[in-house]
Amino acid sequence: MTITQTSFAFVSDLVRRETAMLYDPGKEYLVEARLLPLAREAGCPDVDSYVAKLVTNPAERDKVLDALTINETSWFRDNAPYQAFTDMMLPPLLAARSHVRHLSIWSAACSSGQEAYSLAMLLDQHLPSGWTAQILASDVSSTMLDRVRAGRYSQVEMNRGMPATSLVKYFSRTGSEWEVCDDLKKMVRTQSLNLSTPFPLLPTFDIVFLRNVLIYFDLDTKRDILRRVHRVVASDGFLLLGTSETTLDLDEHWGREAHGRVQVHRPTTTAAEQWQPTAMTGA
Ligand SMILES: C[S@@+](CC[C@H](N)C(=O)[O-])C[C@H]1O[C@@H](n2cnc3c(N)ncnc32)[C@H](O)[C@@H]1O
């Protein structure tokens, strides 16, 4: 490990300021490993000289943010949340939304889109005819959003959780990659959205998947995000977090119901009850 503490502090401050993601001391090796390819690409002999370049070259900073946002994801990740989606969430929502016959879902921090398209496949299989659904796939990384729109995945990515029947049904081969079909692409809308800053105007969502991203934030940021997500979830809607994430002790406006191994979070107060007159900056 050669990165200096000064360079590490500069990079971790940058990432924290722009995305709220924490790179605490001890993560130097990770920062160095992720920035080394960028340093080489920029013709720098080592990561320190690359970081020195960042100070005067803001355009290069986006690449650093992209390299340091952790984009780990897979199809039907952890399985159980998707089981809860079809068995626990869809039935009451189908009954409650029979007048509009539409569902609105948010994959917040969607990475390369496996979460959003996994949900789209389940909706294709479980929505009664005549119903529509829209999935908002948002992320802070524009590279990830480009990937969602392209909907193209390598064989290695497909091997991570894609059932053979769904591969055949929803994907076609494009060169060495697999591309998701247009019907699923039409269900998924992308939006650049930084969870750590006030949200733009958003619709009310029936279900929010906010999985495997809160872990990267400090307590205050987690609380703030959960409070703002609460305002855009329908009062009879659902919130799914990652396996190691919880609303417990963070925000009293959420209740928790177990579905097998999964904790499903539900609003306990309405958004209007939670609204504070001082919160004028968006959701
Ligand atoms: C580990 S992936 C999770 C992907 C997916 N939700 C899942 O569970 O498989 C975390 C994602 O959070 C995104 N992210 C990090 N900070 C963010 C922020 N402040 N706002 C929005 N997205 C952020 C990253 O770009 C990355 O795509």
pLDDT at 135 > cutoff 70: yes
Domain termination residue (choose one: 68, 94, 109): 68
Question: How far apart are the C-alpha atoms of 263 and 246, rounded to whole Å?
Answer: 8
Query: Domain check: are 61 and 113 in the same one?
Result: no
Q: Is 194 in the pocket of ligand 1 (CB under 6 A)?
A: yes
Looking at residue 278, its pLDDT comes to: 43
Contact of 241 with 217, CB cutoff 8 Å: no
Q: Is 112 in the pocket of ligand 1 (CB under 6 A)?
A: no
Query: Domain check: are 33 and 86 in the same one?
Result: no
Query: Domain check: are 63 and 103 in the same one?
Result: no
Query: Domain check: are 114 and 44 in the same one?
Result: no
Query: Domain check: are 206 and 248 in the same one?
Result: yes
Q: Is 221 in the pocket of ligand 1 (CB under 6 A)?
A: no
For residue 205, the SS3 value is strand
Query: Domain check: are 23 and 146 in the same one?
Result: no
Q: Is 19 in the pocket of ligand 1 (CB under 6 A)?
A: yes
Is 46 a member of any domain? yes
Query: Domain check: are 14 and 125 in the same one?
Result: no
pLDDT at 162 > cutoff 60: yes
Query: Domain check: are 64 and 101 in the same one?
Result: no
Is 170 a member of any domain? no
Specify the pTM. 0.93
Is 142 a member of any domain? yes
Of 131, 126, 109, give the one whose Cα is nearest residue 225: 109
81-126 tens-digit pLDDT: 999 999 999 999 999 999 999 999 999 999 999 999 999 999 999 9
Is 161 a member of any domain? no
- What domain range includes position 110? 80-150+181-274
Question: How far apart are the C-alpha atoms of 216 and 223, rounded to whole Å?
Answer: 13
Q: Is 206 in the pocket of ligand 1 (CB under 6 A)?
A: no
- Which of 16, 107, 140 to mutate for ligand 1's pocket (most ligand atoms within 8 Å of CB)? 140
Q: Is 213 in the pocket of ligand 1 (CB under 6 A)?
A: yes
Is 119 a member of any domain? yes
DSSP string, 115-139: HHHHHHHHHHHHSPTT-EEEEEEEE
pLDDT at 279 > cutoff 60: no
Query: Domain check: are 131 and 34 in the same one?
Result: no
Is 123 a member of any domain? yes
Query: Domain check: are 89 and 141 in the same one?
Result: yes
| Nearest CA owner, ligand 1 atom 7 | 73
Higher pLDDT, 174 or 247: 174
Is 265 a member of any domain? yes
Is 156 a member of any domain? no
The DSSP bridge partners found for residue 166 are none
pLDDT at 250 > cutoff 90: no
Residue 96 Cα, ligand 1 centroid: separation in angstroms? 30
Looking at residue 249, its pLDDT comes to: 82
CATH number at residue 197: 3.40.50.150
CATH number at residue 46: 1.10.155.10
Query: Domain check: are 223 and 108 in the same one?
Result: yes
Number of domains in the chain: 2
Q: Is 144 in the pocket of ligand 1 (CB under 6 A)?
A: yes
Query: Domain check: are 95 and 125 in the same one?
Result: yes
